[in-house]
Chains A and B, each alone.
Chain A
């Protein structure tokens, strides 16, 4: 069974600084998708960034980028120029690409609570 581990329960960053959230996963599959989700306090979970395992190039979305190390099974999220609105729980998630990606369920890590100091 696949597992996702986020080893940092809480992180803190100064506004405008850069922070990296860690995520490791365990799987025997070769093809899969990885995601970072953001859950602001009392608000809906939204997708931040996604990565296909077969793509070597790291995904980027504006101030958010990932460092995907397939051999090490590591998928960290870097937030540049942190803003107060980035304060939230961040979840790393895995989804199998088996059956053409039809296994819709996401496997989540326990989350990292990010605080942004003004």
Chain B
């Protein structure tokens, strides 16, 4: 069974640009969560999607947005990039938030560098 895949793996952008990151969950998983990982702030929750609906959202500005498609694939978008957006963006998939354990499986991440 294929794991969580994220594309692209590496990305370099300049300030002011926008970027779209993609996440394909494990087959059969309907929930996707996004996290931002930086050396200073650690791992911070961005948002969670289930059945194309955003269920939870972390404390990030509106420049960060996401969506989920009917095949459970998810994209996140960051507009008007700032230097501080440089980070490793991790996607995690799980079967169903309603399940007790709902173990999250993480992808390899997309390393975004903003110059």
Contacts and interface: CB of A to CB of B under 8 A. Distances in A.
| A and B: bona fide binding partners | yes
Given A100-B98, A101-B97, A108 B107 contact: no
| Interface footprint category on B | 20 to 34
B101 A104 contact: no
Interface string B74-115: 000000000000000010001001111111111111000000
B98 A44 contact: no
Interface residues of A, number: 21
A100 B33 CA distance: 17
Interface in A8-56: 33, 37, 43-47, 50
B45 interface: yes
A45 B90 contact: yes
A108 B107 CA distance: 17
A105 B98 contact: no
